[in-house]
Homo-oligomer: A and B are copies of this chain.
Amino acid sequence: MKEKGPLSVKRRYRQYEAAKILLEVSRVVSSSLDLDKVADLVLKESIKALDSDHASLFLMDDKLKHLVLAKARGFSQDEEGNIKLLGSWEVVNDQVVKRNRPLIVNDVYKNTIFKKMRLPFSREKLPIKSFLAVPLEKDEKAVGVLIVSNRKRPGHLFTRDDEKLLLGLSNNIAIALLNAKLYKDLKDLFLSTVKSLVRAVDAKDPYTSGHSERVMKYSLAIGRELNLDEDTLENLGLSSLLHDVGKIGIKEYILAKPGKLSVREKRQMEEHPSIGVKIVETINNSQKIIRGILEHHERVDGNGYPGHLKGRSISLEGRIIAVADAFDALTTNRPYQKRHTEKEAIFEILSGSSVQFDTQVIRAFVSSFSKRPHIWQV
């Protein structure tokens, strides 16, 4: 009895400390819906909580029905390539996923199960000596495995306490990951749906197949070069994808006319930015994407349309999309021209600096082209 008191205090205190860590980690890992960020936070917090060298996160692929590496932390680039194989280890699959149980292996090279396995790596290629793997489950369904490897403290041993700690977290981690996955899936559905509709609008104009998606790609490349934040980039992406949506309101024969447009036809054609704005006005928070659509045919010298805006009174989005739009028009076959090479297109755009195009945007465009030429290849 004499010893039980203080022991209990110590033990309960440890449990209390553990619960506090769990709550904090749970808060941290659920603080984002960005799947990549959540995965990284999970690894970082696990390595910290268990004082280990590295950690890796595998998620179940619903279609392939096996574990796929989502993210690893603490490994060199070469090692990370080999880490991918961990997910195909029978022992991880059998013990952790199928039986839904944690697994501690404190010496991979002495472990009997491992001795029987033909390990797909030598000691040099994958520096894992010991590891603790826990199943991540939601509604009693395995959704992944979290593996923390190489205890830093002497002897490299993982204990039952470590196992308990990580198991206590595993539900919260699984939820945070699945929420982020749901968010990513919805984002992908959103983008692919809008792309498919925009492609159908592009198809009405026989000369601009795939145009809108390429202008989106180019606009985002310029935006990244200008270090725009993620929110602004998302709005720029949607705005550039929808920049020509107003063409749905232009008569088919004008869009398809191979020769020169008459003055009246040209005037009608030039209404497409304003028609585009009318179409997207009912989108939630549409003010964030409207100016890019409305102003992508403005020129910094004021000779553009529809507003004849000058210089910086044109929104940054409008100035970026103008350059991206011109680059795509120059590098694809049109009724009035054969396509230019990428270098000819750059020369053309440079010659429009301070007249048609904003110099800052042109600088970002040229810089992106020289750093990442593959983006700009049609």
Contacts and interface: CB of A to CB of B under 8 A. Distances in A.
Interface SS of chain A: helix
Copies in the complex: 2
Interface string A6-45: 1011001101100110110011001101000000000000
Nearest to A15: B16
Contact of A9 (B9, B197, B204): B9
A310 B190 CA distance: 33
A151 to B, nearest CB: 24
Nearest to A194: B193
A284 B188 CA distance: 7
Interface stretch (A104-112, A244-252, A345-353): A244-252
Nearest to A16: B16
Nearest to A171: B27
A148 interface: no
Contacts of A9: 5, 8-9, 12
A135 B141 CA distance: 35
Interface string A315-354: 0000000000000000000000000000000000000000
Contacts of A201: 197, 248
Contact of A179 (B30, B192, B203, B251): B30
Contacts of A203: 248-249
A280 B199 CA distance: 10
Contacts of A195: 282
Contacts of A168: 23
Contacts of A194: 193-194, 197
Given A249-B200, A279-B197, A282-B199, A27 B175 contact: yes
Given A23-B26, A201-B248, A252-B251, A186 B188 contact: no
Q: How large is the interface on A (under 10, 10 to 19, 20 to 34, 35 or more residues)?
A: 35 or more
Interface in A150-201: 168, 171-172, 175-176, 179, 182-183, 185-190, 192-201
Nearest to A169: B23
Given A30-B175, A179-B179, A283-B192, A248 B16 contact: no
A285 interface: yes
A64 B9 CA distance: 50
A90 interface: no
A196 B283 contact: yes
A61 interface: no
A198 B199 CA distance: 13
Interface centre among A15, A200, A238 (most CB of B within 10 A): A200
A200 B196 CA distance: 14
Nearest to A246: B200
Interface in A58-86: none
Interface centre among A138, A186, A195 (most CB of B within 10 A): A186
12 contacts: A12-B12, A19-B19, A23-B172, A26-B26, A27-B171, A33-B183, A179-B179, A183-B186, A189-B285, A197-B201, A197-B245, A199-B279
Given A19-B19, A23-B168, A200-B245, 11 more contacts: A5-B5, A27-B171, A30-B172, A182-B183, A183-B183, A186-B187, A192-B282, A194-B194, A196-B282, A197-B197, A197-B279
